[in-house]
A = this chain, B = another copy of it.
Amino acid sequence: MVIQHYRDVEAIIPEEQGVKGVKMRRVIAEKEGAENFVMRVFEIEPGGNTPLHTHDWEHEVFILNGTAIVVDPSGEHEVKSGDVIFVPGGEEHQFRNESDKPLEFICLIPMRK
């Protein structure tokens, strides 16, 4: 068993184009022994966003703190702490923090993508 606080995991600044004010922690990944899926925790500062992008793999998301505007092909949706979001593979999506407080969410992806 591996136990650690998510804030004790090193934060990475994603360098993908279109990323603004985002930190990512890979809190349960290869190093911890995961073989099937990876748990990451994202922190987006006020005014920040992930890129509007598409990829083949899905996201399973849980909003921890703050509010977000989530974009999909149907438009913009406001989400808050306690909301869960399933983004299927192949669907365009973006997370924006348009509030004045930090946004934190868990986002899981399959390991073999």
A residues whose Cβ falls under 8 Å from a Cβ of B? 1-7, 9, 27-28, 32-37, 39, 58, 60, 62, 64, 70, 72, 74, 77, 79, 82-88, 91, 93, 106, 108, 110
Identify the interface centre among A77, A79, A86: most chain B CB within 10 Å of its CB: A86
Quick check: B1 and A91 within 8 Å, CB to CB? yes
Report B-chain residues with C-beta under 8 Å of the C-beta of A72: 1
A97: min CB distance to chain B, Å: 16
Quick check: B86 and A2 within 8 Å, CB to CB? yes
Quick check: A60 and B79 within 8 Å, CB to CB? no
Q: Which of B5, B37, B74 contacts A84 (CB 8 A)?
A: B5
Check A34/B58 contact, CB under 8 A, given A1-B72, A84-B27. Answer: yes
Quick check: A1 and B88 within 8 Å, CB to CB? yes
Quick check: A39 and B108 within 8 Å, CB to CB? yes
Q: Which of B64, B74, B83, B86 contacts A32 (CB 8 A)?
A: B86
Quick check: B86 and A33 within 8 Å, CB to CB? yes
